[in-house]
Each structure stands twice: as structure tokens, then as C-alpha cells.
Amino acid sequence: EAGVTQSPTHLIKTRGQQATLRCSPISGHTSVYWYQQALGLGLQFLLWYDEGEERNRGNFPPRFSGRQFPNYSSELNVNALELEDSALYLCASSSRGETQYFGPGTRLLVL
Amino acid sequence: LAKTTQPISMDSYEGQEVNITCSHNNIATNDYITWYQQFPSQGPRFIIQGYKTKVTNEVASLFIPADRKSSTLSLPRVSLSDTAVYYCLVGPSRLGSSGNTPLVFGKGTRLSVIA
């Protein structure tokens, strides 16, 4: 069975641009979670989607947004990129709050 | 969610058993204990989850005392490839509604296995 997939694996942007990251959950999972992991730090919770709705949001500014599609895949959008947005962005999926399984991540570098 | 405390780092030689203890004094009745492993620049990998007593799978064992205020992840006969950061998390296994708070990752324990 395929795991959680994320694209792209790496993304390079300049300050002020927008970034779009994508996540496909494990088949059958309806929940998608997004986390940010800056270099050397722990995972910080960003967003949680379930059944197409945003269920919870971490302590991040509104320029971090996302959505979940009818097929349960998800996008994370980061507007007006800042240097400190450089991080590994991780997506996880689960069956309605069950154990979360993580994807390989997207490494975003903002120059 | 219950806050967890784990050692920042641990060293071990290959072939030894490694025990990583996590404290979670404020664990709630419906909370589960979950451990993840993370290699550099990769997503965390689920290792094991338990509620009480002992849970064992092909990778590790999880020991939870009766008061559930701590738990110990046991890795038998570690190898160099077990060098990673290990996270202990506590929270309800079933979230279910928009009012619940997702899992909170701490800084984890950095395990270094030496040849």
C-alpha cells in the first residue's frame, strides 16, 4: 500500500513569492495534517483538515493557508514568503484522528 | 494535551538494549502514548503506541506503569541505523471533532549509536 506522498521534494523561492506544497494521503485516510520543522527544531503543527474542512490551526500567521480536495489530497499555500519560512514541511494522514503517518516532506528554501 | 519530558540525547553501543523514558505527569484518562522515530530530513515514522502495561511489536517494546505518568520505549540490540531522534507524544488516539487539539511534538531524544 502506498504511503503518504508529497511534492515537490525541494522548492526554492525568493522572499515575497508564494509557495504551493501538495500532499496525497494514504488511501482511505480522510484527515491530513501539516507541520513545519525548521532546521534543528521540533515539529510545529500548522493545519488539520478532515473531510474537506479545516478542523484546527496552529499558531501561524494567515499567510499560511491550505485546503483539502474531495479526494482528500491537500495543498499548503504560503504567501509573501519570508526567510524564516525556510523549513521542512511535513504532511501526515490518518483515519479520523487515528495514528498519523508521515510523508517524506518538502524542503522549502527561501532566498 | 499532556506535556512530555524526555532526555535530550543518549548514546549507546551497537548491540545494546536502549531504554528511553518519557515523563507525562498530566496524562488524561483517554490519552494514548505514541512514539515516533525521525531520521534527518525525513518524516517521522510511527514506532509503537500503547495505553497501559506493555506493548510489543517487531521493532520495539513500550512499558507503561500502572499510574501512566511515564513510559519507556525499549529498543533491543540497536544498530547504527537506529541513530535518530525519538519523539514521545501523548494525546487522544481519536480526535474526531474540530474542538480537539492535534498531537504536539516536543524536541525528542537524539539517540546516537556508536560502533
- Position B68 confidence tier, pLDDT thresholds 50, 70, 90: very high
Cell (9 digits) for A83: 526567510
**Chain B contact for A10 (CB, 8 A cutoff):** no
Chain B residue nearest residue A102, CA to CA: B43
Distance from CA of residue B51 to its chain's centroid? 12
Q: Which residues of A touch B34 (CB under 8 A)?
A: 99
Cell (9 digits) for B41: 530530513
- Position B93 confidence tier, pLDDT thresholds 50, 70, 90: low
pLDDT tens by residue, A23-48? 999 999 999 999 999 987 788 889 99
Angle, vertex CA B31, rays to CA B30 and CA B32, nearest 5: 125
Q: Are strands B84-92 and A87-94 parallel, antiparallel or unpaired?
A: unpaired
pLDDT score of B73:
97
Distance, CA of A74 to CA of B17 (rounded, Å): 40
The percent helix, strand, coil of chain A (3-state, each to 5) is 5, 50, 45
B20 residue type, one letter: I
Interface contact flag, B101 A56, Cβ < 8 Å: yes
**Chain A contact for B100 (CB, 8 A cutoff):** yes
**Chain A contact for B4 (CB, 8 A cutoff):** no
pLDDT score of A61:
96
Q: Are strands B109-114 and B9-13 parallel, antiparallel or unpaired?
A: parallel
Q: Which residue has the cell 482511505?
A: A28
pLDDT of B38 above 60: yes
Q: Which residues of B touch A105 (CB under 8 A)?
A: 41-43
Cell (9 digits) for A53: 474542512
Chain A residue nearest residue B49, CA to CA: A99
pLDDT score of B114:
96
pLDDT score of B28:
87
Return the minimum-mean-pLDDT range out of A48-52, A55-59, B38-42, B91-95: B91-95
- Position B96 confidence tier, pLDDT thresholds 50, 70, 90: very low
Chain B residue nearest residue A105, CA to CA: B43
Mean pLDDT of chain B: 88
Q: Which residues of B touch A35 (CB under 8 A)?
A: 105
- Contact at 8 Å (CB) between B112 and B11? yes
pLDDT of B95 above 80: no
Mean pLDDT of chain A: 93
